[in-house]
Amino acid sequence: MSLAPTTRLEGSALAGVIGQAVRSGAARLAGLFAFPIGDQIFLRAVLAWPDRMEVIEAALPPGARSYPAVTAQVPAASWYEREIHDLVGIEPLGHPELDPLVLPLHRPREAGEIRIPVTWEEVELDDRALAVRARGEGLLTIPYGPVRSGVYEAIEYLLETPGEDIPHVRTRVYHKHRGIQARFEGLSIEDGVLLGERVEGVASVAHALAFCQAVEQLAQVVLPAPAALVRLLHAELERVANHLDSVVHHTEGAGQAVAYTRMTLHKERVLRLQAQLCGHRFARGVVVPGGVSGALRISPAQALGLLAQLEHGIRADANLLMATPSFLDRLRGTGVIKPALAAAHGALGPVGRASGSTEDARCTRPYGAYLDLLSLDLPASRDEGDALARQYVRLAEIGTSLGLARGALELLAGMDNAQFRVRVPKADGLALGWAEAPQGEILYLVEIEDGRVARAKPRSASFHNLALFPSAFGTDIFTDFVFIEASFGLSVAGAST
Amino acid sequence: MRAELLLAGLVVWFVGAAIDLTLGASSRRVRPIPYLAGLLGSACVLAAAIQMVGGHPVNVDLGSLLGVGRTSLRLDGLAGLFLTLTSGLGIGISACMVTWVRQGPTAQGPTAQGPRVHGHGLGAGYMLLLGAVTVIIVAGDAFTFLFAWESLTVAFYVLSGVRRSSVGQARASWVTLCFSKSSGACLTFAFLLLAGNVGSFTIASWHAVPHGVLHAASYALIVAGFGAKVGLVPLQVWMPRGYPAATGPMRAAMAGLAVNVGFYGLWRMLGVLGSPPTWLIALVLLLGGLTALLGVVFAAVQSDLNRVIAFSSVENGGIIMVGYGVAMVGMALGQPSLLAVGLLAATLQAVAHAVAKSCLFVAVANVEADRGGSSFSEVVGAAHSHPWSSATLAAGALTLAGLPPTIGFVSEWFILEALMQQFRVHGLALRLSMAGGGALVALSAGVAALVFVRLLAFAVLGQPPPNGALPRRGDRGASGRTGLLLLGSGCLWLAAAAPWCIRYIAAGLGPIVPTAVVDQALKSPWVLQPVFGGFSILSPTWLFVVIPVGMVTVALAAVGLSRTRVLRVRRVPAWHSATAGVAGPDSYGAYAYANVLRHVLANVLGSRREVVVVKGGLPAEGIPGPTHVEYQATAVEPIEAYIYRPGRVVALWAARWARRLQSGRLDAYIAYMLVALVALLAAVVALG
Amino acid sequence: MPWITRGLSEGVVTTRYPARPDDYGELWRGAVSLVEQRRGPAVPDQVESDGTSSAADLAALCPTGAIGTTKARLHLDRGRCILCGRCVEARPDLFRFDPSPEVASIHRQGLVLGADVQEDEGALAQVRAELARRTRGLRRSVHIRHVDVGSDGSDEWEVKALGNPVYDIHRLGIFFTASPRHADILLATGVGSAGMVGPLRRTYESMPDPKVVIAAGTDATSGGLVHRTYATSGGIGDLLPVDVWVPGSPPSPFSLLHGILLALGLVTERGRSGNPEGGRAL
C-alpha cells in the first residue's frame, strides 16, 4: 500500500481537471471535500484510477467565497458540493441545485464567513414547510420520515406522487447530521479510531480499518500477520451481518414471515459470534492503530465450529429463499439502476456491482490480509441493476465472506504466541485510507499534525450511493419502495455524518 | 279519469312552456313558474299512472289529430309503471328547480354574473322534455311515438346547449343531437319495416310480424335505437359529454328521468315482438356487460363529478341491459320465470338508477353552484357546507354502489341472482353469454364500490378548502330541500318497501309477463327470492331492523364489556409527519385515490404517464427554482379512439366526395330523388 | 410449505429472560464497573512514589470523561462510558468489565458508580412511585415508538433485534407502533442532533398521556463520544424529560429489554432496592 499521490492546483482549475479525468472514462470521482485552514479553503478531490488513488488539492485564494462547480462537468460531484456549500459556506458556481443537504439549518452567516460552525448556538433550526418541486394533475408530496413506521434511522424521503407512481423523489438526510468532520479535529489518534467506529455504527470495523490504514500508511507500519487476519475476520463477519440485514428487510417487506425470522436469527448469531470473538457485538475496540487490541477470546477451532454451523444455516435458508417465487417476483425489475448510470456516478459496493461494476476495494486495491487471502470469487458482479441483482450480489458475497473468515481462522489456528500489535511511530502528513465496507468503499482523508488528528473526513459509501437513490425509481410504485431502500442497504448515519 | 288527468298534466306543462317563452326569466317572480307547472303536471300524471297500473288497459283514439292518419294512446300497466317513475322524479326535480332558479348569483365562481337562469328556453325545454317523455310512454302508434321521440331529441339539444359559454359545451350539445338523431333514425327505419309488414302503424299490432329476417333486423334496429338512449356500447360516447353540458338539476331530468324512455321502449317491444333471435340476445348480454365495465372504469378515473356520474349512467345502462338480456333469454326459450326474474331485476335496477342518478346530479348541482366548479378539488367536503345536498349525494352514491340498506342493493342482488340462473338455460351460446355478462357485471359492481367510496370520501366527507366561510346558498329553500328529501329518501324507503314495490312492478309488467309469475319473487310477505324457489332469499325490510339493532348492540356491548372505558379516549393532535411538512398538498386526494385503478387498468384506459424535468422554477405556484418536474398523465377512451375517430375520417372523406354531387342544377337533384325512390322501393319489395 | 418445516427445525430459541437469567447476555461486555462498587476506591491527588496514578491521570484514561473523583473517591459515570475498555486495560486493579447487561436506571445519577447516592434515596423512591403510577395500566400491553435522534445506526439494529425470535418481546406484550398516537413509550436513540429537535418534540407531543421516555444508549444518555458539536446536544436529556436511562454503545438487546421492563416496573434496577442479585422479575 502506498501513499496516495497528491496533485496541487488552483481552485479555478479543479473542475476542468476532474472533468477531463472522468470523461476520459478511466477515473471516477470518489470524493470531494473542503477543509478550511486559516482563512483559506482547500478543496481536496479523490480520483480513483484503475490502478491507484489520486488526491487532487486545490487551494482557493484567501477570502474567496466561490469556485466553478465540478458538478457542471461531473454530475457525481453534486452531493459533495452541496455538502461543501452547507458546511463551509462557499458556493460552487453553476451548481444546478443547492438545496440544503447535510445541514438543516438555515444558518445565519456573517458576510464572507467561510468555516464550519462551532457551537450549537451558531445554527438556527430550519422549521419551515418544504416547497414542492413537481407539478401535475393531482400531485401531492408525501413526507416519509424522519419518524416513520418501524425502527429505522431518521431520514426523510419526499415522494412527489399522483398516487401509486413515484415520478420524483427527494432525500433529506440532515436530521442526523452530527458534525463529525469538526469533531475529528484535535482528537488523539486512538480517540480518532473510536470516533471512526461511531461514524457508521453498523460498519464500525471497516471505518476503523480505513482510518487506521491511513495513519499506518503515514507511519509506514507493517502489520503483524495475525493482526491482519483478525482484522479481516471481523470485517468479513461485519459484512455478513450487514448483508443479512438487507435480506431481513427484503423478507419483511415481502411478508415472508418464516424467512424473516430465520434471517433475523442468523443475523443475531453473527453478532453473537462477533461478541464471543472479541467481547463486542459490533467488534468495536478491536482495530487499533498498529494492529488489533488482542487475541481472540475463543480458540480458532471453537470459532471454526460456530462458523460452520452458521454457514450451514444461512446457505440452506438463502437457497430456499431464492427459490420462493412470491419473493423473487417482488424484486425482479424493481429499482433498476442502469449500468451506464452506475458507471457515470461511480456507484459503490453491491449497488455498483449489481449494475455491472467490478470494483471491490478488497481486490482492486487490496489491503491487509486480503493481499494473501484474495478469493477468486471476488468481485461478485451482475449487470441487471435491479433489486434482485443486488440481492444475488449480496448472497454471493455472504458466501465469499464466510469463506474468507474460515481461511483467516484456519491460518490463525496455526500461529502460536502471535504478536497482535506493533507500535506506530509519530508521523505527520496527509494520507488517504480506504476499506471495503459492506455498503461499499470507504475513504478517510486524514491529516496528522503533531501526532494528533488535525483534520479528518470520512466518506462513507452510503453518502455516495444515496445520491443515486432517486434515480432508481422508474416505473416503480409505492409497494416497491421498501425493496429499493432495502436493496440499497445504506446507513443514514454514514450518509449524514 | 286517467286520460283526463294525463291531459291536464300536458296542458299544465304547455302553459308553463308558454310562460317561459313569453316572459322568460325576466323577473325573480316569474322564473319559478315553469317549474311549478312541472311539479303540478307531474303530480297529475302520477295520479293517472297509479290508476293505469291498477286498472285495465284503455285505448284513447286521437283520430287524425296529428294529421298523419289515425293515432291513439294506449294506457296500460307498463305505461303506468314507467309513468309512475318519470312523474315521481318529475316532482322531485321540479321542486329542486324551483329553488334553483330563484337563487341569484353566488359570491364566487364563474357564474357570478347575473342570475343562474336568464333568457328563454330552459323552462320550455324542460316542459318539452316532460311532455315528450309522457307521450312516448303512452303512445299507441308509431307516429305519435316518433313525433314525441323527435321532440325529446329537440329537448335534449336545448337543455345541453343552453349554456353555450364554451366551445366544449356547444360541441357536446351537437354530439348529443347527433346520437339522438341516429337513435331516432334507427327507430324510424325499424317501425317502417314492421308497419310495412303488418300494414298497421299501431304498435300493438306488430306482434303479428312473422319471425324471419325482417323480424330480426327490426329487432336489432330497435335495440340499437333505444340502446343509444341508454348508453349501450358503442353508442355511449354522447353521455359523458351531453349530461354535464346541461344546466344544474336539468342533468337529473336528462339522466335520471328521460333515460327511462329507452328502457320503456325496450320493455314494450319485448312484449310486442316476442322471441328475439339468439345472436341478438348474446350480443345484448355481452355488450351490456362490456358497457357496465367500461362505464364504471371510466367513472373511476374522472376528475369531474358530473363526468363521474355521467359515466356511471353508462355503467347502469349496461347492467340494466344485461338484466334485459336475461329476460330476452326467458322470452326466447319460453320460460316465464326466467323472463320474470330478468325483467324484474332490470326494472328494479332502472328504478334504483333513476332515483339515485337524480339524487347525485341535483345534489352536485347545488354544491357546484356555490363552489364555482364541479371537479373533485372544488366539490370537496360538501358535508361541511351543504348537509342536505350531501345527505342526498350520499344516499345516491350508496345506492349506485349497491350497498345495503338501499334499493341499489336489492336491485343488484336481483340482477346477479338472475344471471346465476344460467344453469337452467339450454344451449351453449346463451349459457356462455349469460356467464360472460354475469362476470362483467360482477366485476363492474366491485369497481363501482370504489367509484362511490371515492365520491363519498372526498366530495362528501373530505376536508373542505380552507379559504374561510364557504357559501351555502345551494342548500337553502324549502322547495329545494323537499325535493332533495323526496329523492334521497326514495333510495331508502323503496328498499324498505321492496315487497310492495315488487307487487307494483308485477302489476305493471302485466302486458309482458303474467303478474302471478312475477309475484313469485315474494317468498313470503317480507322475504324475496329470485322468482325461482329454493335458490336464495333476501329481506331488505328485515335489514332495516337488523342493521340498526346490530349496531346499537355492538356499541352497548363495547361500552358494557369495557365498563365504559371505551368512552374514555386519550386525545392527542393529529399525527402527520414529524417535520414541519410540505408547502403543497400532502394527503391523498380524489385523483391519487383513483391512480391505483389507472395503473391496474392501464390497458383498458390506455393511460400513459410522462415525467419531464423542466429548467426554472414556478415562483407563482410556490415552486422555487432552478428546476422543477412536470408530471403528465393521459387516458384514451378506446371506443372513441378506435371506432369513431377512424369513422370520422371516412365520413369526412365521403362528405368531400359527395360535395361533387352538389352541382346546383335542378335536373340533377330530381334525378337523385328518383334514384333514391327506386332504391327504397327495391328494398321494401326485397324485404316484403 | 418448505418454510414451515424450516421454521420448526430448530425448536424454541427464545430466551427465558426476565423470568430466568440468560447466560447469553454475558458473552459480551455489559458495562464497566469499579472493583469496589458501593463507594469508589480512594484516589490520591498526586502521583505516588509507588507509581499509583493521580486523579488527573485516571480521568485522562477516558475519552468521554466518564471517570472522575469527588472527595478523593473515584467515580465512574456509566452514562458516559462507551465501553472502549481503555481503563480496564490500563488499571485492572480499579476497573473491570461487568458482564451483566442489566444496566438501566430510572435516575441519571444512578448510572454514576462510586458516587454517594444515599442522600437522594427518598427522592428516588418518589420518582419510582411516580413512574409506577404512570405505567400501571401499561404492564400487560405496551406500545413503543422509536425515534432516532442522531444515532450511529447500530442502536437501531439492537432495537430491531428485540423483535427477533431470540428476544421476541411480543411474548411480553411489548410492541413497536408506527404512530406516536398509539404509543406509550418513546424510545429515543442517538446524541440529540439539531435536525431532530423539532421532529422529536412533535413526536413527543403527539403521544397521549401518560407517556414514558427512555433514552437508549450512551449517546442518548450523555452524547457519548460525539458530545456537543455545533449539531449535537448532550443527549436526549437536554431535549425531553427522560424517565429511564439505558447506557451502552450501543445498548445490547438485553439492556434495552431491561430498560423497558424497568419503565413498566416489572423488574428492579440491579443492586438497588434490596435486590443485590439484580434484575429478575419482581
Residue B573 touches partner C, C-beta closer than 8 Å: yes
Residues of chain A with pLDDT under 70: 1-5, 104-113, 126, 375-377, 417
Residues B460, B461, B462, B465, CA torsion sign: positive
Q: Half-sphere exposure of residue B425, counting CA atoms within 13 Å on the CB side?
A: 29
C 208-227 → B contacts, CB under 8 A: 208-209
Sequence-distant (6+) residues with CB within 8 A of B664 are none
Q: Which residue has the cell 299490432?
A: B205
CA B237 to chain centroid, in Å, comes to 14
Residues of C in contact with A182 (CB under 8 A): 229-230
Helix axis angle, B540-561 to B407-420, nearest 10°: 120
Which amino acid, A439? Q
- Residue A144 C-alpha, separation from nearest chain B C-alpha, in angstroms: 7
Residues of chain B with pLDDT under 70: 25-26, 66-68, 104-119, 162-168, 467-469, 625, 687-688
Residues of B in contact with C179 (CB under 8 A): 575
Residue A376 touches partner B, C-beta closer than 8 Å: no
C 183-212 → A contacts, CB under 8 A: 190-191, 193-199, 202-203
Residue C13 touches partner A, C-beta closer than 8 Å: yes
Residues of C in contact with A271 (CB under 8 A): 157, 161
Contact predicate A95/A72, CB 8 Å = yes
Which amino acid, A320? L
- Whole-angstrom distance, CA of residue C256 vs CA of residue C220: 13
Chain A residue with CA closest to B611: the answer is A167
* Confidence bin at C279 (pLDDT 50/70/90): very low
Residues of A in contact with B579 (CB under 8 A): 130, 143, 146, 156
Helix axis angle, B498-508 to B407-420, nearest 10°: 60
CB pairs under 8 A between B and C: 25
The verdict on a CB contact (< 8 Å) between B629 and A133 is: yes
- Whole-angstrom distance, CA of residue B157 vs CA of residue B160: 5
DSSP letter for B458, please. Answer: I
Which amino acid, B592? A
Nearest to B579 among C147, C180, C198 (CB): C198
The verdict on a CB contact (< 8 Å) between A140 and B587 is: yes
| Neighboring chains of B (3 or more beta-carbon pairs < 8 A) | A, C
Sort C42 into a burial class: Cβ within 10 Å, 0-12 / 13-18 / 19+.
exposed
B215 SS3 class: helix
DSSP letter for A109, please. Answer: P
Among A313, A301, A314, CA closest to A406: A301
Residues of B in contact with C137 (CB under 8 A): none
The verdict on a CB contact (< 8 Å) between C179 and B575 is: yes
Chain C residue with CA closest to B577: the answer is C199
The backbone region for A255, taken as left when phi is positive above 0, alpha when psi lies in -120 to 50, beta otherwise, is left
- Whole-angstrom distance, CA of residue A335 vs CA of residue A332: 9
Residue A72 touches partner B, C-beta closer than 8 Å: no
The verdict on a CB contact (< 8 Å) between C154 and A119 is: no
Contact predicate C166/A270, CB 8 Å = no
Sequence-distant (6+) residues with CB within 8 A of C93 are C35
Residue C193 touches partner B, C-beta closer than 8 Å: no
Residue B572 touches partner C, C-beta closer than 8 Å: yes
- Residue C226 C-alpha, separation from nearest chain B C-alpha, in angstroms: 24
The verdict on a CB contact (< 8 Å) between B592 and A134 is: no
| Chosen from A130, A175, A492 to mutate, greatest number of chain C CBs within 10 A | A175
CB pairs under 8 A between A and B: 119
Q: What is the pLDDT of residue A307?
A: 96
What is the dihedral angle through the alpha carbons of A409, A410, A414, A419, rounded to the nearest 10 degrees? -30
CB atoms within 10 A of CB B666: 8
Nearest to C207 among B572, B579, B580 (CB): B572
Q: What is the pLDDT of residue C274?
A: 34
Phi, psi of B378 (to 5 degrees): -95, -50
Which pTM was predicted?
Answer: 0.86
- Whole-angstrom distance, CA of residue C223 vs CA of residue C193: 9
Chain B residue with CA closest to A94: the answer is B626
Helix axis angle, B167-198 to B213-230, nearest 10°: 160
> Is ipTM strictly over 0.90?
yes
- Whole-angstrom distance, CA of residue B552 vs CA of residue B549: 5
Please determine, for residue C194, whether its predicted confidence score (pLDDT) is greater than 90: no
Residue C179 touches partner B, C-beta closer than 8 Å: yes
| Chosen from A151, A327, A460 to mutate, greatest number of chain C CBs within 10 A | A151
Nearest to B579 among C181, C199, C209 (CB): C199
The verdict on a CB contact (< 8 Å) between B579 and C208 is: no
Q: What is the pLDDT of residue C282?
A: 34
The verdict on a CB contact (< 8 Å) between C206 and B573 is: yes
A 303-342 → C contacts, CB under 8 A: 316-317, 320, 324
- Whole-angstrom distance, CA of residue A93 vs CA of residue A66: 6
**CB burial string B283-299: b at 16+ within 10 A, e below:** bbbbbbbbbbbbbbbbb
B168 SS3 class: helix
The verdict on a CB contact (< 8 Å) between B585 and A140 is: yes
| Chosen from B623, B631, B634 to mutate, greatest number of chain A CBs within 10 A | B631
Angle at B238 between CA B235 and CA B243, to 5 degrees: 135
Tell me the pLDDT tens digit for each residue of C129-162: 889 888 888 888 999 999 999 999 999 999 999 9
Among B386, B391, B344, CA closest to B368: B386
Nearest to A123 among C161, C231, C252 (CB): C231
From residue A289, alpha-carbon distances to A184, A248, A295, A447, B288 in Å are 16, 34, 15, 15, 80
The verdict on a CB contact (< 8 Å) between C206 and B580 is: no
- Residue A200 C-alpha, separation from nearest chain B C-alpha, in angstroms: 24
- Whole-angstrom distance, CA of residue C197 vs CA of residue A146: 11
Nearest to B572 among C198, C200, C208 (CB): C208
Q: Which residue has the cell 425531553?
A: C240
Angle at B506 between CA B503 and CA B509, to 5 degrees: 155
The verdict on a CB contact (< 8 Å) between B572 and C200 is: no
Strand pairing category for C112-113 and C73-77? antiparallel
Phi, psi of A186 (to 5 degrees): 90, -5
| Neighboring chains of A (3 or more beta-carbon pairs < 8 A) | B, C
- Residue C193 C-alpha, separation from nearest chain B C-alpha, in angstroms: 14
